[in-house]
Amino acid sequence: MTSQSISLLFGVHAHQPVGNFAEVLVDAHLRCYRPFLQVLYRYPDFKFALHFSGWLLHFLFEHYSDDMALLREMVMRGQVELFGAGETEPVLAVIPNRDRIGQIETFSKKLEERFGQRPQGAWLTERVWESTVVPALVDCGIRYVIVDDYHFMCAGKTKAELNGFFTTEEDDRALDLFPISEMLRYKLPFSPAHEAVAYIESLAENSTTNKGVAAIYFDDIEKFGIWPETYQWVYEKGWLEQFIQGVLASPKISPRHYHDYHALEKSHGIIYLPTTSYIEMNEWTLPAGPANAYADLVHQAKATGWYEHNKSFLRGGIWKNFFSRYPESNWMHKRMLSLSARFAALPATQCSDAMRQKLYAAQANDAYWHGLFGGLYLPHLRRAIYNNVVELEGLLDDCAPRPAFFIEDTDLDGVEEAYLHNRVLQAVVKLDGNASLCEFDAYQLKHNFGDTLRRQIEHYYCKIQPNALEIPKHSGTGIASAHDRINFKNQITLSDLEVDAHPQSLFFDSLNEVSLIYHLESQDESRIRFLSKNDQCEVIKVLELSGNRLLVSYHLSGNVEGHLETEINLAMPSCDGPGGRYVKDESTVLGGFGQYMDLADTTNIAMEDVVLQGMLLISTSASIRLCAQPHFSVSQSEGGYEKIMQAIKLKLIWPVTERELRITLEVKAKEYSE
C-alpha cells in the first residue's frame, strides 16, 4: 500500500429499541435495512462491517427470512464483517460485569450460529466509553471496538493522527480502539456522493504517517433511509449506489474489513480515553441550564473560529448523568440492578434461560435516556423495561421469596421506599412525606401502573419558545441532518412546557389544595399506616393489599372545613389511542383516555385497556367528584417536537364532612379484541 492509497473501513449499526412497535420495525426494514442490503449485494467488492442488535436481528429472521438469507450469503462470500455487542444493546458501562460478559457472549454465539462468523470487533452502544468495560470485552474474544475521534482528541490526539487504531488496557487486558471520523459521520450520506468520495481521497493525500492509512466510518444505518428526506436521497436519487461506484472506481480507496486491516497493520500506540460519548450526547446528559450554557459556549466558539481546534476542551457531561437528571430513569436502573443481583445469587439449577432473557431485556439502553431521540419520553419503551422487570421479579419470587414488607433505599437518593406485595400486586411507597406510590405492579399483567414521567425543563425548550432564535437553514448541496432541523409534529404552547410541581405518583394528597405531609406510623405484612397531623386536624391514611385489590382508606378528625383531594397518575398502555376507554357502571362508555372528564357524583369508574389486556376498576365507599385528564410531556425526536401522553391524571375530591373514605383499585386481566 502506498502513501497515496487509503483503506475505507465502512460500518453501519442497525438497532431498534426493545418494545418498539412492530409497524415501526416493518417500516424501518422496508425503507432502510432491505434496500441497503439489496444495493450492497450488487457490489460484492465493496466490503463493509455491519451490526444488527440482537432483538432486531431476531425480528428480521422471524419476519424477513429471505433478506436474512441474502445477508448470510454476503457474509459467506466475504463481503460483510459482523460486529458484536451486548445482546439487547445495553450501555455496557452501566450494567454489572457479569451481565456484560453474558450479554456479549450471548450475541456472539447467536452470530456464530446464524451466520457462521464469530465477531472480533464490537459496537459500543451510543459510543459510551468507560475503561471498566475492557475486561468483559476481551474475555469474550473481542479484539477491537470503535469509538468517536472526539474520544481520542479528549485524550490529546490530533485529527491528523487518527487514521489507524490504538491500544488501551485495563486489568491486564489489552484492547484496540478505532476512531470514527466525525467529518465522515456528517458527510455520509448527507453530502453529494462525489464530494464524500473526494473527501476520503483527500485523507490519503494529506496523511503524514508511514503506516497504512484508514478512513474510519461506523454510524447508524437509519441515516440511510429513515431520517427525514434520506430515503429519497439515498435510494430514489441513487446516493448509495453513486457512493459505492465512486469508491470502487477510485484508484486511491480500498474498501476493507476491520479484521483484515487489524491483522495486517500495527497499533499507533498506547492510549487511555476519558469517560465520554459523542459530542451531542455530552450536551444531552446535562440538566437544561448547564446544557444551554454549554450550547451557547459551543456556538460562541464556532462563531469566533476556534471551536474545531479546541472542542476537546469543551466537554459536557457523561452518560450516567441521565440517572441524576431523571429520577424515573434512575429508578428503573436501580430496580434492574437489584434483580440482577438476586438472579446472580440463585443456585445455578434455578437460573433459567427465561429469567436471563428478561434480565437482559430490562437492560436495553433506549428507555434510560433522552436526547435527539424520544427514549425515556416514550411510554412504550419504558413499559417494555417494566414488563421484563415485573415478570422477572415474579419468577425470582417463585424461587427465592421476599418478605411481604420491607424498607430500603432502592434508588440511592437518600429517601427510603416501603415495599408491600402479595405475589399478585406490589405497592412501593416513597417515604418522602407524601405517602404516595412511586410504583404499582400487577404481576399477571406484567405492568407497572406507576410508570409515569414528571415534566421538567429540557435543553431544547429554548428552541421552541415563541421568542426562540431561528436555526439557520441548510445551505449548500446535499440534505440537512436531523441535528440541524426544527420541525413540529404537534402544536405546542407555553402551557405545555410547564414543569410539574411534584412527582407524578399515585395517591398524592392535599387538604384545601395544601399538600399533606405524612410520617410512617406502623406497618405489618399487608398494610402500611401513615399519619398527617397539624394544629387543626389529623389524617390517617392506610394502604393495604388484598388479593388483586389495593385499598387506600382515609380517616379525618379535627375542626376543619373544605375538601380532601388525592391525585392518581396511572400509566395506561393505550394512552390517547383508540384502545383505552373509561367505563361507568360496567357498561357505559364515557370516552377515551385522551379526553377530559368531570363526574360530579360517582362511586366507580373502570379504565379498560386493549393493549394492556386488562382493566383497572376504581371504587369508593362514598360519592366523590372525579376529574380526569391526559398528562402530556413535550419530547423531541429525529422527526421533530411532539406532545406525548404519559399518563391518566385522576383527581378524586370529597368534602371533609365525609370523615372516612375507602378507595379500592382492583386489577383484572381481560381479553379484548383489537
Active site amino acids: 126, 220
Rg, Å, the chain Cα set? 27
Instruction: Please give the single-letter amino acid code of residue 287.
Output: P
Rounded Cα distance, 142 and 123, in Å = 10
Rounded Cα distance, 458 and 500, in Å = 13
β strands within 487-536, DSSP E: 506-511, 514-515, 519-523, 527-533
Say what angle helices 327-345 and 353-361 make with each other, to 10 degrees. 160
Say what angle helices 65-76 and 97-115 make with each other, to 10 degrees. 90
Strand duo 253-255 + 405-408: pairing: unpaired
Considering Cα of 35, then 38, then 44, then 47, what sign does the dihedral take? positive
Q: How many CB atoms lie within 10 A of CB 659?
A: 12
Task: Take residue 297 and report the three cell numbers written for it.
Answer: 459556549
**Nearby residues of 589 by Cβ (< 8 Å), 6 or more positions away:** 581, 582, 583
Asked whether the beta carbons of 55 and 358 are under 8 A apart, the reply is no
Rounded Cα distance, 457 and 291, in Å = 11
Instruction: Please give the single-letter amino acid code of residue 154.
Output: C
Q: How far is CA 276 from CA 161, 313, 321, in A?
A: 20, 12, 11
Task: Give the DSSP per-residue string, 57-91.
Answer: HHHHHHH-HHHHHHHHHHHHTT-EEE-B--TT---
Give the closest residue to 426 by CA, choosing from 399, 454, 449, 401. 449
Give the closest residue to 46 by CA, choosing from 238, 234, 244. 244
Instruction: Please give the single-letter amino acid code of residue 92.
Output: L
Name beta bridge partners: 640.
637
Q: How far is CA 325 from CA 19, 106, 298, in A?
A: 23, 31, 22
Asked whether the beta carbons of 520 and 528 are under 8 A apart, the reply is yes
